[in-house]
Amino acid sequence: MNHILKCPKCGSYGLSEKCKCGGKRARPKPPKYSPEDKYGKYRRKWKEGQKIK
């Protein structure tokens, strides 16, 4: 099964490990969960704005 990979050098996504910029793509890791989410308020506002449009 193929997983999507992200290049840390240029930020592009793809299925191959080699990137066009010469970097090596790796699996992007999700952010750690924290009950004291500093940016949750902003993320929820952004998400609500996306639903309206």
Residue 14 lies in a domain: yes
Measured in residues, the chain has a length of: 53
Residue 23 lies in a domain: yes
Tokens 């639903």, residue located: 51
Q: Global pTM?
A: 0.50
Residue 22 lies in a domain: yes
Is the Cα torsion angle 13, 14, 15, 19 positive or negative in sign?
A: negative
Residue 53 lies in a domain: no
Residue 18 lies in a domain: yes
1 lies in which domain range?
Answer: 1-28
Instruction: Give the confidence band of 52 by pLDDT, cuts at 50, 70, 90.
Output: low
Residue 21 lies in a domain: yes
Residue 1 lies in a domain: yes
Q: How many independent structural domains does the chain possess?
A: 1
CA distance 14 to 21: 12
Tokens of 30: 């999700």
Instruction: Give the confidence band of 53 by pLDDT, cuts at 50, 70, 90.
Output: very low
Report the pLDDT value the prediction gives residue 50, as an integer from 0 to 100. 75
Beta bridge partners of 5: 14
